Amino acid sequence: MRITRKSTILSAAGAALLLGLTACGPAGSAGPGGVEEPDESGEAATGNGPYSLEIAENPEFEAGTTMAELAEAGSITIGTKFDQPLFGLQGPDGSPVGFDVAIGALVAAELGIPFEDIEWIEAQSSVRESFLESDQVDMVVATYTINDARKERIDFAGPYFIAGQDILVAAGNPEGIEGPEDLEGLPVCSAEGSTPAATISEQYGAELLAAGGYSDCLDPLRNGQVVAVTTDNVILSGFVDQNPGEFELLGETFTEEPYGIGVPLGDDAFRTFINDVLEEAFEDGTWARLFEETAGTVIDVPEPPSVDRY
């Protein structure tokens, strides 16, 4: 297990810039990315960190469990994406914001760990399992689809969101692409090691251009090196929102992608704890609030999924 006391501090003012949105609310209201707008004193009106989560005071856990060790350390290291608008996007101060970040902060809060004592590490698709196996992170919240192949190496809590694979094309759809069947033999970009990359190449016969991250696919689409970018609809929606007039989304999903929280293989107690946290957040409205303040700035708030306690 990785226990660290390093921290990254996300200021309320800086966080409001991270999704590239400019709308502002009245003092004390939640602004873009789920950040409390500062009052006249320059400080957030309520809550801890950008997501106004109540921090558990002196939580008690069974000795020797991951929860007990993290709570005692007072810090946690979480892997997430740094290049995905709405879910995990890095800002000028180096810290990410988005729905994945909010979910990670939610789990930390229930461990008694405030936002400023979370260390965020970029976890691109190709390294998520290895980061958990090598104890570089305590958990991964990074648009991480639960599947059987990954369960051979790590465990998952959740799901906490259900996405679906979609296709991003240049504005006007110059190639006339209507669905994944039209991509056979054509160059398509997706992230190396991701479920969407495997699906589009293995099931639909596309010629895959594997990139480090999904944002690395945008320039190849702009310059005509590929005819499309494919990944989950929520990620692509963020790119459309951030680049008005450049891209369009087909809007027809062709897979189901349950997002889970990755934890080390065999840590059943930690996985059970996280599932309990998620279910409580589903029931008391916290999950919906966090989604509305982050991805919900662009996407309608869905119903929460059902946790799979496999």
pLDDT in tens, 79-135: 999 999 999 999 788 889 999 999 999 999 999 999 999 999 999 999 999 999 999
Residue 74, phi-psi category: left (phi > 0), alpha (psi -120 to 50), beta (remainder) = left
Q: How far apart are CA 149 and CA 51, in angstroms?
A: 33
What confidence tens digit (pLDDT) does each residue in 34-51 have? 334 434 333 333 346 899
DSSP letter assigned to residue 297 = G
Q: Token match 């729905």: residue?
A: 99
Dist. CA 24–CA 258, nearest whole Å: 32
For the chain, the 3-state helix, strand and coil shares in percent, each to the nearest 5, are 35, 20, 45
> pTM of this prediction?
0.81
Cβ-count burial 53-72 (b if 16+ within 10 Å, e if not): bebeeeeebeeebbbbbbbe
Q: For the chain, give the number of residues.
A: 310
Backbone angles phi, psi at 155, to 5 degrees: -115, 160
For the cut 90, the answer to whether the pLDDT of residue 308 exceeds it is: yes
- What is the pLDDT, as a whole number, of residue 91? 77
Q: Which pLDDT value is given to residue 49?
A: 80
For residue 226, pLDDT beyond 70: yes
Q: State whether residue 263 is helix, strand or coil.
A: strand
How buried is 4 (Cβ within 10 angstroms: 0-12 exposed, 13-18 middle, 19+ buried)? middle
Cis peptide before 159 (omega within 30 of 0): yes
- Integer angstrom CA distances of residue 120 from 117, 211, 214: 10, 22, 19
> β-strand 228-232 against 187-191: which pairing, if any?
parallel
What is the rounded average pLDDT for all residues in the chain?
87
